[in-house]
Structure 1
Amino acid sequence: MTHIIPKPREELPELEPILQMVEASMGFLPTSMMTMAHWPELTQAFGGLGATILHSGELDAGLKQMIAFAVSNAAGCRYCQAHTANSAQKNNVSEEKIKAVFEFEKSDLFSDQEKAALSVAVHAGMVPNAVEAEHMSELLAHFSEKQAVEVVAVISLFGFLNRWNDTMATTLENSPKSFAKDQLAAHGWVAGKHE
């Protein structure tokens, strides 16, 4: 159960445009946004940053969600694992490929380009950060500098979200929770404190 009760939507008329945008994009309103709403300026700023990182740029939206899933796995955030795996599927990543993210290095389902991005994500999600020069060199062998910035932006966005949701013990919504229980449980996923 979340440590801070989410703000009721009806108390946030100034946030309604951004809440509608997030709800339309995800299919539900994330509990994390409603706990952020105790500080409305944070919700506004985060919503804009998240929209820029996830919905603009050159990288495929499915790849962005796989990167977010990989970094969230490394960081151990069950809330974000459920969200990003579910969002990857909504962005045309097959369930087989989502499950294979756990062993992407050995899987033929991933291109060398995807493996380079996922490797940076996994190493960036470790504490302390384990990204080395060779990880970035491999990333830049497959992506332009702008695209590499996009990869790191996704990783960084979820660095914030991983810390936020694990610290707050954010309650997981039904849709991503159901998806994760069905698709990720075989890899050890449990809702834990996000129940």
Structure 2
Amino acid sequence: MNTFSTLLKTQEVPIQQLEQDYNPMLKIVKVILGLDPNANPLLEIWPPAFKAYNLVVPNFLNLPQYLFKKRSYKSLVGLAMYACSKAAECAYCTSHACTFAMRRGLEAEKFKGNLSEKEAAVVAVAESMARVPSNLTKAQCDEMISHCTPAEIHGVAMVVSLMGFLNKFMGAMGVELEAEALEETGKILTEAGWNPGKHFRGNYQAPEDYHNPVKDSIGTYFRMFQQAPGVIRLEKKWTQGIPDKYPKAGAFLKEHTGFDFPMIAKTKDPRIIKTLSTVLRDNLNAEVSKIGLDTKCLSSLVFGMVAQNEILVKEARILINHHASSVQDNQLEVIEGMAKAFTNIDDKNYHSYLTQLTDEAGLSEKQAAALLCTKMASYSPSDINETILNETHNRLSAQEIVELMIWISIQQMFQRMYTYYSVSNG
């Protein structure tokens, strides 16, 4: 089965180049996961995507501090990571979350549903946050809050938001699972009903024996500290001049993107605020965009409509007014109608939708193809069928595809974050 990952294979950046440019960051990921993710060469096709990934992951996980927390805290966050990935039906991230959580001390029986009341409350929130549209309730949030400390609540909310970013990109792109991940998690996950699906080329056969990941030790912490100086240097270079507190971050974003993104203030976490401000600045920079900011902002609207998230829809309209001001209300109505339609886009109706978007909404074929791809990628799990795959690949370059998918992934990260803060605060 083809995926964007397989179609773009020849465009990937050689791993030798990545090691030369980002060696400390690559080694840090290997320390916490025990493998080199296959997504790295794919992300670097459009460098801001690789940068976003390597800012969001460590900062939303609060690395390296996370590794020195109590085992109970680390296990709970790892369980939330696994639960939301499973609910989102991203087999790639489910496998990675499994090995991540077990390395932090989560017992294998938890993957079979043997949970305490506290763990069950966290899983319920993680699963509901992961669905598109979300069905998170105030009662679920209150139940989790009644069992967890403020630090645990923040850790769970941030890791589920982080996984929104990862679930979407890995799932929509169809990134191939690494042999190490399959060896370590294949048997235990298969027993829980998991299958790698499009993330494995060929007929998958689970290992006959368990190969449990190596748990954190003094050696883990030593290897982490070895790479920390290099990672810090890169991150400081990437985030130089970016505020880490609101409202300064809002003013910065307003100046650089046209919108102040007030919802990010709710995290009250300097690392998260600085990370999101950097990622938004980079992704809404006309000088580095290949697909165009007008297309990206329209893509935000489509995602918000599919996710039925009023905050995202409102933000998208503000961004459209700033970056795609030539698009008229009647044109937006056509785009919104396509996004809201309870119809999958496939070989039977693709060209009729494409014509509608070009003739009635005044879009180019490339823009129309990007929005049709966005609609199908926005579901959870993403539904990138052969028609969407081939029609998008025929009209968008490799850089444009990666840029579009990382932007949709950012939208899903915000969708989960906004949902939690909106629902938990009533």
The normalised TM-score by structure 1 is: 0.86
Counterpart secondary structure, 1:184: helix
1:27 and 2:34 aligned? yes
**For 1:125-140, what aligned pairs fall within 5 Å after superposition?**
125-140=130-145
CA distance in 2, matches of 1:90, 1:129: 29
Q: Is the 8 A contact 1:79 1:170 kept in 2?
A: yes
Q: Which residue is equivalent to 1:7?
A: 13
Q: Write the distance in 2 (CA, Å) between the matches of 1:88 and 1:147.
A: 15
Residue 40, structure 1, aligned to residue 47, structure 2: yes
Correspondence for 1:103: none
- Corresponding residue for residue 308 of structure 2: none
Cα distance in 1 for residues equivalent to 2:138 and 2:88: 21
Gaps in structure 1 of 5+ consecutive residues: 101-106
State yes or no: 1:160 paired with 2:147: no
Residue 35 of structure 1 deviates from its aligned partner by 1.6
Deviation at 1:146, TM superposition (A): 4.2
8 Å CA contact retained: 2:33, 2:99: no
Aligned partners of 2:46, 2:25: CA distance in 1, in Å?
14
User: For residue 71 of structure 1, what is the amino acid of its counterpart?
Assistant: C
| Alpha-carbon contact 1:36-1:43 (below 8 Å) kept | yes
Query: Between Structure 1 and Structure 2, how many residues are aligned?
Result: 187
Shift of 1:97: 2.0
Larger Rg, first or second structure (1 or 2): 2
CA distance in 1 between partners of 2:40 and 2:17 (Å): 14
1:153 match: secondary structure: helix
Structure 2 equivalent of residue 98 of structure 1: 111
What letter corresponds to residue 20 of structure 1 in structure 2? Answer: K
Q: Does 1:17 align with 2:24?
A: yes
| Percent identity for Structure 1 against Structure 2 | 27
Q: How far apart are 1:178 and its partner, in Å?
A: 2.0
User: What is the CA–CA distance in structure 2 between the aligned matches of 1:117 and 1:171, rounded to whole Å?
Assistant: 29
The structure showing larger relative contact order (alpha-carbon pairs under 8 Å, at least 6 residues apart) is 1
Deviations 1:81-116 (A, max 9, x none): 11111222211212222232xxxxxx3xx3322222
Q: Partners of 1:26 and 1:137 in 2: how far apart?
A: 32
CA root-mean-square deviation: 1.9
Determine whether 1:64 maps to 2:77: yes
How far 1:70 sits from its partner (Å)? 0.4
Residue 73 (structure 1) aligned with residue 80 (structure 2): no
The residue type paired with residue 116 of structure 2 is S
1:48 to partner: Cα distance? 2.8
Other-structure match for 2:249: none
Q: Does 2:175 match 1:170?
A: yes
Could you tell me which amino acid in structure 2 is paired with residue 150 of structure 1? G
